[in-house]
């Protein structure tokens, strides 16, 4: 084996320390209480082949908490949904129902968009 092939495998520069230190690479997630969060609920069809989806944004929770909340909201609406980049998407137009349910949970909720 030549010394040239050994050099190509070594790390020359790494900005965030060792790759084994995954804690340094994760972004901190602050689980704020519901009263301190401003939530926006809107209905949209753009980019979804004409299907209406209710999009809920503004959450500052960990992914585990968002998954629990998503499951609860899907059960209340009787429809499917998903979690994408700290945004909840519920299939169908359920703005009024979601505003009521989230308000009962203590969130400050507003309907945005038309």
Per-residue pLDDT of the chain (114 residues; tens, 9 = 90+): 555 555 456 767 666 656 565 555 565 667 888 888 999 999 999 888 889 999 999 999 989 999 999 999 999 999 999 999 889 999 999 999 999 999 999 999 999 986
CB 54 within 8 A of CB 90: yes
Instruction: Report the distance separating Cα 59 and Cα 62, nearest Å.
Output: 9
Strand partners, 41: 56, 111
Instruction: Report the distance separating Cα 111 and Cα 94, nearest Å.
Output: 11
**How far does the chain reach from its first CA to its final CA, in angstroms?**
66
């Amino acid at each position: 084996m030549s010394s040239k092939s050994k050099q190509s495998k070594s790390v020359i520069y790494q900005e965030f320390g060792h790759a084994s230190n995954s804690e340094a690479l994760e972004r901190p997630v602050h689980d704020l209480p519901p009263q301190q969060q401003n939530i926006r609920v809107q209905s949209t069809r753009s980019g979804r082949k004409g299907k209406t989806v209710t999009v809920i944004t503004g959450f500052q929770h960990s992914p585990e908490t968002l998954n629990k909340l998503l499951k609860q909201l899907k059960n209340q609406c009787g429809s499917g949904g998903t979690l994408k980049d700290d945004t909840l998407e519920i299939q169908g137009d359920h703005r009024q129902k979601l505003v009521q349910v989230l308000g009962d949970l203590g969130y400050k909720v507003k309907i945005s968009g038309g």
